[in-house]
Amino acid sequence: MTQALKVPVQKEPLVLSYMDRAGKIAIAQVADGFGMSKGQLAETAGLARETLYRVERSRAAKTQGRLREMLEIISRVTDWAGGKEQAMAWYRAQPIPAFGGRTAEALVKEGKASAVRDYLDHVAVGGFA
C-alpha cells in the first residue's frame, strides 16, 4: 500500500484576508487587525492621515497600492517573525543593513517596496542579509 503525499495547505495571503467584496483593502479592518487607529495606519503606510478617513481617497489606486505593498511585505515575514503583530513590529522598527539601516517602512514610504520584496526573496532562499 502506498502512502499518500501530504501537500501542505497554503495559508491565505494576509493581504487577501483584509479585502472587501469589491477587492479593495478594508481600511478599518486592517487598522483593527493591527490594533491601530486609521491615523496610525496612514503613518505606517506613508499616507496623509486624512487619506484613510475619506472614502474616495481611501479607495484610490495610490492608497490601495501602498497598503497592499505594506501588507505583502508583512505577510512575507509573518511566519519567521512569530505572527502578524511581530511582523508589523519588524516592518516598522528593524533596520535592514543592506539598505543602510533603513526599515521596511521607510523604504515603502520612499516607493521602494519592490526592493524590500526582492531582499526578502533573497534571504528566503538562503542569501545573506
Q: Tens digits of per-residue pLDDT, 42-62? A: 999 999 999 999 999 999 999
Cα(13)–Cα(9) distance, rounded to whole angstroms?
Answer: 12
* Cβ contact 70:45 at 8 Å: yes
- The 10 Å Cβ neighbour count of residue 30 is 23
pLDDT in tens, 73-116: 999 999 989 999 999 999 999 999 999 999 999 999 999 999 99
Show me where the domains of the chain are located: 14-124
**Looking at the whole model, is its pTM more than 0.75?**
yes
* Cβ contact 18:72 at 8 Å: no
